[in-house]
Each structure stands twice: as structure tokens, then as C-alpha cells.
Amino acid sequence: MEPFRYHAYICTQEKPDPEAPSCPGRGSQEVVEAMRAELGKAGLADEVQVTTCGSLGLCTRGPNMVVYPEGVWYSGVQVEDVSEIVSEHFQNGQPIKRLVNEDAAAVKAEILENKRKALAKLKAAQEAQADR
């Protein structure tokens, strides 16, 4: 049983390095606010749950959003896209193709590579700190 018809997770993960690509740096908080307002206008606030979340691993493509129960991964979502997502996806069940990451294997590979890079950077920083 699903408590909501849709559940949208939108990345709002702040990065310690202000120069690093991030969803908030590309406007994800504004997308969250616009999404909640648009859902209210459409009468869907009780059917679509919007949750902010940590990194979805596609930082250079942000803002990123995952919609369940289908598991649709959106990237590059802008405030201007929100009304279309609400009307087409949440009301009519049709994901917005131009924003969808359709190649699951490529998305997973990119996420794992980004994770590997982040862990290597963290390890290097820790080793540099230990050498001091």
C-alpha cells in the first residue's frame, strides 16, 4: 500500500566545497517551493508527497528529482518545468521525456563514478590532514 499516489524526492544537498556542482547551487530549493505551491493549486497536495533529500549522485545534472512509485529520475529540473511535471506526470501519468534519465545502467554508472571520486577526494583530504 502506498500512502501517496506519488512521492517526489528533490535533492537539496549542500556541498562543503562551494565551488562543487550541486542541486542547491542550481536552484533546487526554488524547485521544491514551486512544486509545493503548484501541487496546492492543482489540488494534489494530499496525493503527492514532496521530500527534500541528500545527494542523488548526479550533481552536475541538477537539480535532480526521483519520483516513486515508478522510479522516474529527472535531471535539470527548473522552476519553469514544475507546472508541466504537475499537470503531465502527476495528473496525467506521463513523465516529461526531455527531463527523464532513461538509461538506468548509465545513471547507475555515473552515480558510482561520482561516489568513487568523492570518496577519493575525502581520503586525500584526510591523509593530508594526518600528515600535518
Please tell me the predicted confidence (pLDDT) of residue 44: 97
91 near 39, Cβ under 8 Å? no
Integer Cα distance of 71 and 59 in angstroms: 18
pLDDT band at residue 1, thresholds of 50, 70 and 90? low
pTM summary value: 0.90
Q: Is it the case that residue 128 has pLDDT exceeding 90?
A: no
Task: Give the domain ranges of the chain.
Answer: 6-102
Percent of the chain past pLDDT 70, that is, above it, reads 99
101 near 72, Cβ under 8 Å? no
Q: Which CATH superfamily is domain 6-102 in?
A: Glutaredoxin (3.40.30.10)
**Which tops the pLDDT comparison, 54 or 125?**
54
